[in-house]
Amino acid sequence: MTSEAAQREAICRAARSFFERGLTAGASGNISLRLEDGGLLVTPTGSSFRDLDPARLSRLDADGRLLTGDKPTKEMALHSAFYATRGARSGAVVHLHSTHSVALSLLPETDPDDALPPLTAYSVMRLGKVRLLPYFRPGDPAMGEAVRALEGRRSAVLLANHGPVVAGADLSAAVYAIEELEETARLALLLRGCDPRLLTPEQVADVVETFEVEWG
């Protein structure tokens, strides 16, 4: 069993890594992690990933009430929707404003039902299909309703004109998956107009079956 203190440190370590690699900037992005009692640790609203204080992370109970720490991110409806619809499959949620993912969300040719082209096996393995959701004002509760409407079928979404959101079984899984999403978005932009050789439907199906990928 990992202590809450260690989980607080892990959130801050992941956040700082994102900031230092340019995957989020200013006071953008948010992370949540579900604890054994059903409560959450959440990065505070208006905070920078550069210098989070583990002691000031928002500690919520299982009903979403703030127990200790600073006020949580205004995107709580988004995080709560993943936990509510995906159950034990979601132990952490990460939301970034990473450049290439945001850029991909702006392109009119991006498929809303399958936003990432099948360029590598790893994007299929870690993300399944990524849904592109429409634009919502930051903090709009309708964002959470859009995720709930997916009924747990997707672990990753792109918010148009905003950024990616990924739920994982634990913090490491969510971190790895959102990194894969950003890298695949970067490849997709680099290859625009180049007619790249995508994975075939048969190759995608093989990865999905072999690694038991959710492909709803």
Average pLDDT, the chain: 97
Q: What are the tens digits of pLDDT across the range 68-119? A: 999 999 999 999 999 999 999 999 999 999 999 999 999 999 999 999 999 9
Question: What's residue 191's pLDDT?
Answer: 97
Residue 198 pLDDT more than 90?
Answer: yes
The answer to whether domain 4-210 has CATH 3.40.640.10 is no
- DSSP characters over 122-169: HHHHHH-S-EEE----TT-HHHHHHHHTTTT--SEEEETTTEEEEEES
Give 2's pLDDT tier (boundaries 50, 70, 90): confident
Domain extents in the chain: 4-210
Active-site entry in 20, 109, 122, 212: 122
Cα–Cα distance for residue pair 54/56, rounded to 1 Å: 6
Cα–Cα distance for residue pair 84/121, rounded to 1 Å: 29
Cα–Cα distance for residue pair 97/128, rounded to 1 Å: 20
Active-site entry in 4, 9, 20, 75: 75
Q: What are the tens digits of pLDDT across the range 112-128? A: 999 999 999 999 999 99
Alpha-carbon distance values, 105 to 23, 144, 198 (Å): 15, 18, 20
- Residue 164 pairs in a beta bridge with 158
Return the closest-CA partner of residue 110 out of 23, 185, 195.
185
Alpha-carbon distance values, 215 to 113, 124, 208 (Å): 11, 9, 7
Residues in Cβ contact with 39 at an 8 Å cutoff, skipping those fewer than 6 apart? 59, 60, 61, 62, 67
The tokens describing 193, both together, are: 């107009």
Residue 216 pLDDT more than 80?
Answer: no
Cα–Cα distance for residue pair 149/127, rounded to 1 Å: 18
Confirm whether 122 is a catalytic residue.
yes
Residues in Cβ contact with 180 at an 8 Å cutoff, skipping those fewer than 6 apart? 122, 123, 126, 127
